[in-house]
Chains A and B, each alone.
Chain A
Amino acid sequence: MAAVITTPGGASWSTHQLSEFLVAIAAAEDEATASLCAIQWAAEALEAEVAAIVVDGQVVDAVGYPRGRVPGEEIRAVTERTTNVLNVPGFGELPALAEPIGGVGGWLVLARSGDDGFGAEEMGLLRAMARTLSMTLRTLRMLEKERGLREDGEQRAAENARLLTLLQERQALLERLSKIQVSISRRAPLPEVLDAVVAGAHELLGDEVVGLRLLDKDDPRYLNLVSSVGVTRPLRGSLKRTPVGEGVGGRAVLEDRLVIVQDYENDGAAMGPFAAAHLQTAMAAPIHEDGVAVGSIVVATYRAQRVYTESEQEMLQAFAHHASIALNDAKVVDQMRHMAYHDVLTGLPNRALFLEHLTRAVSNARRSGQTLAVLFVDLDRFKLVNDSLGHPAGDRLLSAVASRLRRSLRDSDLAARLGGDEFAVLAENTTPEGAAAIAEAITESLRDPFDIDGHELSITGSTGVVLDRAGRTSADALLRNADLAMYRAKMDGPGRHLLFQPDMHTTVSDRVLLETQLRRAVRNGDFVVHYQPIIWLDTDDVVTVEALVRWRREDGALLLPGDFLDIAEETGLIAPIGRLVMRQAMAQVHEWQRALPYASSLNLSINLSPRELQQPDVVNDVTDALRETDFDAARLLVEITETALMHDTSLVGKRLRELNSLGVRIALDDFGTGYSSLTYLRTFPIDLLKVDKSFIADIAGGKPEAKVGRAIIELARTLRLETVAEGVEEAAQVAELVRLRCRMGQGFYFARPLPARDMGRMLRSREPGPDLEVVQGGAIAG
């Protein structure tokens, strides 16, 4: 997947590049122009410094070298595979590769700086370019030859007509291919694209019969006819599914090459029904998926003495190539869809897919009047496993649970992982007894201990069951009620299951109450931001303030994040809370920057939770907040935890890079408490490390623990990352940190988190001049 760059339109970048190349090269009227055009395009498309064409051992044209200094020997050596580097002035040795240009004794050679090598997709593009170039060069050579032979006017006219026909053919082919590419780019359904390929081949090659066959996914000994023209109905039945060993198309797949059969009736590859219908000539080209032949396109005719010209052979291969692009593209889309709907860890459907199925099941039940059940399973004390054995062990346990869960169900039941240690099961067409039996089966399936990394682990699950008859309850409500029932079951003790009762709503649990209150708080904006300064250790100046959210409850109590962030994360309320905090803090800090010369370059640090980072809108939220508060992105830091980096690495990386490109810097919070992997520091655009307080506590002492803290700070310095020491509580720590060249610190030694008013006072007290009038950010300071 990593090698495939997809565009918003769907298809990968190389698809577009190829069609641009096809058009550009089609315009060339002589060999020299075609060659120059080809190297220019190949170099531009693959962002290479050097491109060259070698024909019969001679460099015909090259770009990338100072004029008159093209190293012919060295380039030829690349085509002979005796070297794979080229010495390029200004760059030194660059990795090079050569692709043969079939039929003209030529090679296309490229060399590129950077250490990323040429990927599979790029090789594919280069191959396709070389094939197109080969077709073009051969056409041009043939024309050249004919031009030399024919002298008199009449013949010249004929030759011109022929030239015109060839150019028109090429033009028609390109137009067809462009259309096919548009359907690929627009993500038209695969069958539609393949139909377009077949229709294109039918029109341009003019043969009566065209068929496209693909290997049967379940039984690759057979080919299925997926699209065809001119295969009459009686024939279609017997030809729908044929062994790979039969037919011209089968041979093209097995031998992975273009196959032409001239005397079809008497050929070994002939298929009975076609031979009986006196098919005369056939040609087949293989279609590839990930470089492996998985099907073929066949054109065939009942006319006698049909000869396929070279340009027609190229044409069929071009159509086959486009079918390959379509297959590969469809595969990428499928994978993405699968990823969007499945939990990567367990392979089970995720919440989104589960809800989709559930919604469909509810509407089916509404029609049929049947009963369906939703079971909500939550593992008991799963957090203990994570905390004691680490996340990898926890992950292995979750996938083991998932597979037992799956085995305990009927084929018709659907299991899903909703997130964390929560699973759900949908059972359609069931009864209250049937639902209870499923709950029993789930409990039973977990009874035997699990063997995880040599540890014998026992775990139980609490299950909430909800029933619906005739689709009376919505999917969302069913899942919520099952959740509530699970929660009540858990309160009764581990390993139990409980059927949902409506009165559970009236005896709402604390958690539900908390959730309700939190929702209301989000609506009313009952959150305040406190600020904890981060200090330059050498000058004692405030460099940054970290924004910390507090929930002001209706009873006046201020709740710390630890009291409500879990539920905010689970319910997704974290997103609106995050937006609120972001805006308040940016407006406040902007106010300080404006009003106080001391704070004119004050930075603001905000926290983004793992869940927030997964939200598709998070970058927009930050952008909006920056714009609305007129806050300078360069003064904003986003703090994330290592946990956030562990899931869905590519998505998180993308988000961080997007934030980075706004000018926002990224800080890694609590560094040292998670995996503390160097890979993160290299993979993600991290600017700053916040070293966890547990390492700072002992840093001034001689204990072995002190070494870890020091090592982390030194490591950060080597990686040119700034460090902030968290939890600084005494002067001795400051002295040691300064000695270690850790430049910033945060902790009670300097200040606790302060309400805006107090933070403002602190900043004001550091103003150099006397009695500066200060504008107070009223709404925030409250």
Chain B
Amino acid sequence: MVSILSAPAEPRVAGERWIGVGSSPERDSRAAGAAAVREALQGGDTRLLIVFASPAHDLEALLSGIRDHCGDAPLIGCSTAGEIATGGPGDAGVVVVALGGDGFSVATEVAPDASGDVRLAGERAAACVERVAHGRHQVLLLLSDGLGGDQQEVVRGAYSVLGASVPLVGGCAGDDLAMKRTHQLHGDRVLEDSVVAAAISSDAPFGIGVQHGWRPVGDPFLVTASSGTRVFQLDDKPALDVYAERLGAPAEILEDPAAFTRFAMTHPFGLRRRSGEEVRFIAEANFEDRSIGCIAGVPQGGLIWIMEGDAESVLSATDAACAQALGSLEGRAPLGLLAFDCIARRGVLGDAGIRTEVQRIGQSAGGAPVAGFYTYGEIARTHGVSGFHNQTLVVLAFA
């Protein structure tokens, strides 16, 4: 699966920054890891490996396959709900991104047992920024467990350590929509309930694009009872019933958890914010107490809308996110793009649509390699203090 797009056109100058992406549909986990990393490696001075792998893989075996070829380069990664590579999106596969060259400096960190104190995990993960060379441009890449508590707290924690000085970007690991357990990868370890981070410093700028493509429909509800990410009541009535009734949802979503998750994926909540709507991914419902569980906090006392999106709005958000990311590269051509793309956007686009989407990202990249995964929540903090997003595409461009 060598992509002609990711092959370097000319021999590289020693020490120059480089990014390579490799992927493999191989079923054998060890062989898949080996194939993907071989394709990704473009030079000897690898600074960081980022691995996005399907939960269908034996992740231990996959990591050892990777390690067979890359020595002890720092590594972070996570399980996914679908992988993205230059050649297109895929399932049950693995994508490896390699960053190398003198112009990059990297330090990684892992914060285990994140759900016990999500904010603290964010703080601990951010500690690696201290250890990275203080180059002109920095970014902190975070991969976390979206099923383990309010992930906005990860961002708040990292922000409390770093302040506005370092942009944050990343996503929450996936498990192919089972919504049960996700994995994070750090060094040679396969972890759960963790935040893994890589502080990347570069001679050239980073660009971050964030867009969702959803819009509010109908009248808002008042959140009359909620706690953290759980919404108990809307307009003084059980949240699940109000939600299903407003949308005229099929009866099965009130009985089958998987059916609910599939339905809710394309009918998220939206909160009104100063510069637009903030979307909330609805992950699951509790059929006993009729509550709804989201991936990020839904404050009590506020108004909430049901949001809608379609293939067009979602795709135009793709273009806008890419343009936004590339627009921050100070006129330089991108070396590579990372995409953290919400699983819900995939739900709206369908399989054909996500191929178009990845194609469009590839076009924006203008030949530079593309990698990413379908996420359970996206992180991008460039302005203000908020930086946890749902149903959103976050694009990180490296110059």
**Chain A positions within 8 Å of B302 at CB level:** 16-17, 19-20
**Could you tell me if A40 and B156 are in contact, using CB atoms closer than 8 angstroms?**
yes
Q: Is B305 an interface residue (CB 8 A)?
A: yes
- B288-303 CB contact bits vs A (8 Å, 1 = yes)? 0000000000011111
Known A47-B383, A47-B386, A49-B384: A90·B163 in contact at CB below 8 Å = yes
B308 beta carbon closer than 8 Å to chain A: no
How many angstroms from the CA of A278 to the CA of B125 in the assembled complex? 67
**CB <8 Å contact, A634 and B319:** yes
Range class of the A interface residue count: 35 or more
With contact pairs A182-B222, A633-B316 given, residues A8 and B305 touching in the complex (Cβ less than 8 Å): yes
Within 8 A of A (CB), among B299-351: 299-303, 305, 310-313, 315-316, 319-320
Residue of B nearest to A22 (CB): B301
> With A24-B299, A47-B274, A174-B301 known to touch, is A64 a contact of B163 (CB < 8 Å)?
yes
The binding surface of chain B is classed by DSSP as mixed
Known: A174-B301, A182-B222, A661-B320. A63 touches B163 (CB 8 A): yes
A663 to B211, CA, bound (A): 13
Residues in B neighbouring A178, C-beta threshold 8 A: 222, 224, 301
Residue A47 contacts which of B162, B275, B310 (CB distance < 8 angstroms)? B275
Let me know if B385 and A13 touch, CB within 8 A: no
Most buried by B among A44, A65, A633: A44
Flag if A8 contacts B385 (CB, 8 Å). Answer: no
Q: Whose C-beta in chain B lies nearest to the C-beta of A12?
A: B272
Interface membership of chain B positions 254-293, coded 1 if the CB is closer than 8 angstroms to chain A and 0 otherwise: 0000000000000000011111000000000000000000
Judged by a CB distance under 8 angstroms, whether A465 is at the interface is no
B132 at interface, CB cutoff 8 A: no
A543 at the interface (CB under 8 A from B): no
Complex Cα distance A91/B311, Å? 36
From residue A4, how far is it (CB to closest CB) to chain B in Å? Answer: 13
B133 close to A (CB within 8 Å): no
Q: Are B303 and A9 in touch, CB under 8 angstroms?
A: yes
Task: Check B300 against A43 for contact (C-beta < 8 Å).
Answer: no
User: Does A7 touch B at the CB level, under 8 Å?
Assistant: yes
Contact (Cβ within 8 A) A112 B156: no
Chain A nearest CB: distance from B206 CB in Å? 12
**Which residues of the partner chain B approach A122 to less than 8 Å between Cβ atoms?**
274
> Are A51 and B385 in contact, with the CB atoms below 8 A?
yes
**Chain A 75-114 interface mask (CB, 8 Å, partner B; 1/0):** 0000000000000111100000000000000000000111
Whether A49 and B164, one on each chain, are in contact in the complex, defined by CB atoms closer than 8 angstroms, is: yes
A47 touches B384 (CB 8 A): yes
Task: Give bound CA distance, A114 to B312, whole Å.
Answer: 30
Q: Which residues of chain B have C-beta atoms less than 8 A from A46's C-beta?
A: 274
Q: Is the CB of B316 within 8 A of A662?
A: yes
Counting CB contacts under 8 A, is B159 at the interface?
yes
**A67 at the binding interface (Cβ < 8 Å):** yes
Q: Nearest A residue to B384 by beta-carbon distance?
A: A47
Question: B166 near A: Cβ within 8 Å?
Answer: yes
Q: Are the CB atoms of B161 and A66 closer together than 8 Å?
A: yes
Query: Are A90 and B166 in contact, with the CB atoms below 8 A?
Result: yes
Asked if B160 is an interface residue, CB under 8 A from chain A, the answer is yes
> Whose C-beta in chain B lies nearest to the C-beta of A46?
B274
Q: Is the Cβ of A16 less than 8 Å from the Cβ of B272? A: yes
* Chain A residues closer than 8 Å to B216, beta-carbon distance: 7-8
Considering only CB atoms, which chain A residue lies closest to B217 in the complex?
A8
A704–B156 Cα gap in the complex (Å)?
A: 62
Q: Any chain A CB within 8 A of the CB of B219?
A: yes
Q: Do A48 and B385 touch across chains, with their CB atoms under 8 A apart? A: yes
In the complex, what residues of A have CB within 8 A of residue B271's CB? 16
A49–B161 CB distance below 8 A: no
Q: A residues within 8 A CB of B161?
A: 66-67
Contacts of B112 in A (CB 8 A): none
Asked if B164 contacts A91 (CB within 8 A), the reply is: yes
B305 contacts A89, C-beta separation under 8 Å: no
A69 within 8 A of B: yes
Query: In whole angstroms, how far apart are the Cα atoms of A122 and B222 in the complex?
Result: 22
A623 to B314: give the CA distance in the assembly, Å. Answer: 13
* B385 near A90: Cβ-Cβ < 8 Å: no
- Determine how close the nearest CB of chain B comes to the CB of A172; give it in whole angstroms: 14
CA–CA, A147 and B303, complex, Å = 37
7 A-B pairs with CB atoms under 8 Å apart are: A90-B164, A113-B383, A178-B222, A182-B235, A185-B220, A633-B315, A663-B312
Closest 6 CB pairs of A and B: A90-B165, A23-B301, A89-B165, A47-B384, A19-B301, A20-B299
Residues of A within 8 A of B (CB): 5, 7-9, 13, 16-17, 19-20, 22-24, 40, 43-51, 63-67, 69, 88-91, 112-114, 122, 174, 178, 181-182, 185-186, 623, 626-627, 633-634, 661-663
| Interface contacts beyond A8-B219, A9-B220, A663-B312: sample of 8 additional A-B pairs, CB < 8 Å, sorted by A | A20-B302, A50-B163, A91-B164, A112-B384, A178-B222, A626-B312, A633-B315, A634-B319
